[in-house]
Amino acid sequence: MVVINPWSKRMQPVIGILTAKKKDGTIGGNGSLFIELQKKLISLNGISFIFTLDGVQDDSIDGFTFIPEKNEWERIISPYPDLVYNRIPFRKSEEEIKNSAFFSHLNDKNIPFFNPGFIDKYELYQLFKEHPILQTYMPATIPAFQKQKLSAFLSQYQTIYLKPSQSARGNGIFRLELATEKKLMLNGIRKSEEFITFDHFWNEWENILREKNYLAQEEIQSKTYNGKRFDLRILAHAENDKYIVTGVGIRQSQKQDITTHIPSGGKLLPYTLFKTKELDFFIESVVEQIGIALSQKFGFFGEFSIDAGISETGHYYIYEVNSKPMSFDESEIETKKIEHLCQLFLQLTVHNNY
């Protein structure tokens, strides 16, 4: 059923959640997030709908809205929303959006666009290395597509991580170790390889490193808890012209120590086990500095998550920043996320509505 212009004038704000279709033609994205946002927005007298670029017209948008009473999605044709929230799950789809006329339509209509897009890991590293505060927390990183530079980098640090510059969730990460003067060990989440020389490694991996824009990053000897390394996962949101910490989770490696991500076998630990005034201060300060730096460089960022760590010597490190945070397994953090997002939607749309 198609409902044309379903929004009551009293429903403010109207949030359009931009996503993309999967290869099979179905709509992708975090469905549970979209549903929870809709429920919270309705309680605040607002409403939301999801849409893809295919549904965008000059004066209206064809999409879907969730009806809590029916517990189902309903197709709608709506006027342009008060704000567009970018939750496109695929980088290729996001490039299509950026190359379309959609952004100019939003600018013409003075509609805010929440979050510019995915972050390239090397662009992020370059930005933070020029920052007076954040540079102290960055592991050494170089592009991995020049043979001599990569070989020298490996010789310098003995063990390095190889990461695709545009991946997420730990996908495609490998640890490369100079096991002896010549022999190399390459370990991934699911496979390991041995190379008798760097040349042998390069001959097999050169094309992969180039095609996926791999980065090389020094391995940080991480602090451990009960003999296993752990990382911090920090969720942050904008609030009243500043950036606040929404929640902090701890992820600990188990069967493999390449990554601590839960889908790859990582374990959840409570932040209270590690909480100190010093660690709280580090988290709060980097959240504020990262939020400002990202928004000044790329455009307004209303949310992001940070993967950070602590070395054996007690030094803090920033490993990654994600512009479209995954769901947290901690229910209290997820609840706060929904609240902060909806309050931010209200804050960003108030000038357009009154």
Model confidence at 353, in pLDDT bands (50, 70, 90)? very low
pLDDT at 6 over 70: no
pLDDT of 254: 60
3-state secondary structure of 244: strand
pLDDT at 262 over 60: no
Residue type, 198: F
Q: Which CATH architecture has domain 121-137+222-323?
A: 2-Layer Sandwich (3.30)
What does pTM read for this prediction? 0.90
User: For residues 187 and 182, what is the distance between their CA atoms, to the nearest angstrom?
Assistant: 16
Task: Give yes or no for a contact between 189 and 195, defined as CB atoms under 8 angstroms apart.
Answer: no
Residue type, 155: S
Model confidence at 321, in pLDDT bands (50, 70, 90)? very high
Q: Where are the beta strands (DSSP E) in the chain?
A: 3-4, 14-18, 47-51, 61-67, 72-78, 83-86, 113-114, 141-143, 159-164, 174-178, 184-187, 192-195, 214-218, 224-225, 228-239, 242-252, 267-269, 303-310, 316-322
CA angle 52, 56, 60 (to 5 degrees): 130
pLDDT at 168 over 80: no
Q: What stretch(es) of the chain map to CATH 3.30.470.20?
A: 121-137+222-323
pLDDT tens digits for range 35-54: 999 999 999 999 999 999 99
Task: Give yes or no for a contact between 298 and 116, defined as CB atoms under 8 angstroms apart.
Answer: yes
Please give the mean pLDDT across all residues of the chain. 89
How do 3-4 and 72-78 pair as beta strands?
parallel
User: For residues 221 and 112, what is the distance between their CA atoms, to the nearest angstrom?
Assistant: 42
- Tokens representing 227? 């003999």
pLDDT of 257: 56
Q: Which CATH architecture has domain 3-115?
A: 3-Layer(aba) Sandwich (3.40)
pLDDT, mean of residues 201-230: 93
Beta-ladder partners of 214: 164
User: For residues 48 and 58, what is the distance between their CA atoms, to the nearest angstrom?
Assistant: 19
Q: At what angle do helices 121-129 and 277-298 cross, to 10 degrees?
A: 110
Q: What stretch(es) of the chain map to CATH 3.40.50?
A: 3-115
Report helix, strand and coil shares of the chain as percent, to nearest 5: 35, 30, 35
User: For residues 38 and 43, what is the distance between their CA atoms, to the nearest angstrom?
Assistant: 9
pLDDT tens digits for range 53-71: 999 998 899 999 999 999 9
> Which helix (H) or strand (E) covers residue 122, if one does?
helix 121-129
